[in-house]
Amino acid sequence: MKLLGFLLLLASCLISAVWTTKTVSKYITQLEQDRYQSIFTEGLRSNDLQSVYYSSANVAGADKTQDACKRLNTIYGESKLNDFEKNYYLTGAWKNFGCKEALPTKVKDSVKNALQKDSSSSQEIYFNLHSAKNLNLPIDEAVKTQLGKNLQALLKKDDSLGSLGHGFAVAAELGSHGAFAHDRVEEAFVQADEVDGKMLQFEGGLSITALIVNGAFKLSNGLKKPVPINAEQATKFATYFLSRSSIQTPKGVSILLEALNTLSAQKTIAPICVMLAGNGQLLPESPVLSVKVSDLLGKPLSPALAVVTATITPKASSQPLASKVNLVPSNADPSVFTYNLKSLNPPRGQYKIDIDAGGYKQSLKVNVLGKVKVSSLEIGVGDSDSVATIKKHSVSFANKLDTELSADAQQKIVLKVQLIDEASGKPLSVHQAFVLLRNKNTQQEIIFVAEADSSKAYKFEMDVGARSNDFGYKSGVYSVELIIGDALISNSFKWLLADVNIKFTGETPQETSNHPRRPLPEIIHQFRVPEKRPAKLVSDLFTGLCLAPLALLLILWAKLRANVSNFPLSLSALGFHLGLGAMLVLFGIFWLQLNMFDTIRYLTPLALVTFLCGNRLLRKIAGRCSEK
């Protein structure tokens, strides 16, 4: 028993540890919230009653003029929704707009009557009950009891996800009269589908998923029952909702925000967002690490975190650069925590940041950028087959060589540049080192890759004669530019360092032919010549062989003295034999020209007539046999 208790305690500790690490890497940004407000504002002008309702519920200071209320009546009359849905959206929007005049009497009477009778679905109960709340109609214990019994009977007949979701929302309003529905919550959540091991959703998408999550949590909280899911599941549901942040309809945005608020309100399991506040590129002059720690809607956590720590480890090493350093809340945004790495003097490279925010853990990646410096650069022109004759010119960074270089087809252009890290002074390797040559007249460009040698110096060497074809044999003055870029340097550059007058020799590709260009002969597709047909005698002989079985059949009938005279001259007998013959002819035509679908279309009525006639014929023959 002690061992069992110890194992249970250990398992609970492990589960708790797993839960406390659950975070998401996204939240609803201010830009997205502004876009949502635009959707709601546009929805207020819509002619769709549902869009107007959801928009009015989410726009502060919505138009409360008499014209808006009159427009609601017009939209209500034109709506094609069910009566109970129309009543719900109308009463809800009427309440959100704060309309002073009374609603049409028929609407109130419709809602009152709906509460007095049993509904045909949990969705209908949901809309009728909330319509009554919007109208401030009294809902006494007797009505709640009736609605509870009606709902319980409906959920036994229809346990679909939509029915359960609306049922949970209704049961939450009924209090103890809806407590029975809590037993169905687990049944609903086990039907959630997992996507890529990262998200949970219900079949039906955002609407059904939000409906079940909102309704189940509201029911559990109202009955003071444990939350229906654990922290890991809450994180996966939150990840799914955040993945749908690009929703474009007022209803979709409204239920999305409601679901995220519902999950954020569950303090024991609510996931939080831990992500980089910037782009993850830390500049060498001010390497400030900024981490966003917020709820799913980007708001600071409440209560505020006592401490947020970070362990900083270089990607190429297992030894931390700093352990458990405290991040400081930003004055401008209390959800952003910062730490200046300047005192650590981090070298250029990639780093893993392990964040611990009140027990929630998240691993992030940042790049500490460095600055590249040109230690030396030499460019020269010399003979292709000689190294000693190359005259090299040194060029200081950002300057251009004063003299114009010249190179012909017997020479080569050579460039060598040494790059160093400005902070350490050590040779630096970069991701991109290119040499660009641009014709100053035609602006034609050609780019070459500069390769690093064993000393990490970058070299470029171009044999003018061998590369003539790449330039199209176009002689002229070319500017030489050096392009240096890397994801881990902050001062990538493009440097115009010299001009070279290049003279190509030889004929251009257009002049290499001794004959003027002529159009090629037209390509005409030719089908294969058909095979030669056999002689007529062979065809006739083959046809005769095919007909031989039929002739043999007739001969045998005659020899056996087939009783053809006893053929019954009735409609069923004629129909049956003609039907069989017609089907055989149809099969022949199918072999010659018809396709399968046309054949089946013609065969169906023939087969039906043949079957009916054959059945009647067999019944007559059986009747005659019984009489004999």
Point out the domain boundary residue: 447, 473, 508.
508
**Judgement on whether residues 562 and 472 belong to the same structural domain of the protein:** no
Domain boundary among 368, 394, 428: 368
Q: What is the pLDDT of residue 564?
A: 66
Q: Is residue 162 part of a domain?
A: no
Low-confidence ranges of the chain (pLDDT < 50): 1-20, 509-515
Separation between Cα atoms, residue 377 and residue 385, nearest integer Å: 23
Number of domains the chain is built from: 3
Helices of type H across 161-270:
161-174, 185-189, 206-222, 231-243, 250-264
Of the candidates 368, 385, 403, which is a domain's last residue? 368
Looking at the structure, do residues 414 and 300 belong to the same domain, yes or no?
no
Q: Which amino acid is present at 471?
A: F
**Does any domain span residue 264?**
no
Mark whether 392 and 474 lie in a shared domain.
Answer: yes
Best CA proximity match to 221, nearest among 190, 193, 185, 191: 185
Q: Are residues 404 and 477 in the same domain?
A: yes
**Residue 49: inside a domain, yes or no?**
no
What CATH number is attached to the domain comprising 284?
2.60.40.1220
CATH code, domain with 465: 2.60.40.10
Q: Are residues 488 and 413 in the same domain?
A: yes
- Predicted local distance difference test score (pLDDT) of residue 66: 56
Let me know whether 501 and 383 are in one domain. yes
Report if residue 56 sits inside a domain: no
Q: What digits encode the pLDDT tens for the residues 304-326?
A: 888 999 999 999 888 999 999 99
Residue where the block lists tokens 């159009």? 519
3-state SS record for 185-201? HHHHHCCCEEECCCEEE
| Residue closest to 401 by CA, chosen among 471, 321, 481 | 481
Indicate if 359 and 392 belong to the same structural domain. no
Residue 466 domain-assigned? yes
Model-level pTM? 0.70
Looking at the structure, do residues 381 and 359 belong to the same domain, yes or no?
no
Tell whether 13 is covered by a domain. no
Please provide the distance, in angstroms rounded to a whole number, between the alpha carbons at the two ends of the chain: 91
Q: Are residues 499 and 378 in the same domain?
A: yes
Residue 596 burial by CB count (10 A; 0-12/13-18/19+): exposed, middle or buried?
exposed
Q: Looking at the structure, do residues 436 and 502 belong to the same domain, yes or no?
A: yes
Q: Residues 490, 477: one domain?
A: yes
User: Are 377 and 484 within one domain?
Assistant: yes
Domain that holds residue 338: 272-368
Answer yes or no: is 247 within a domain: no
Sign of CA dihedral 488, 493, 499, 505: positive
Residue 598: inside a domain: yes
Question: Cα–Cα distance between 26 and 508 in angstroms, integer?
Answer: 58
Cis peptide before 303 (omega within 30 of 0): yes
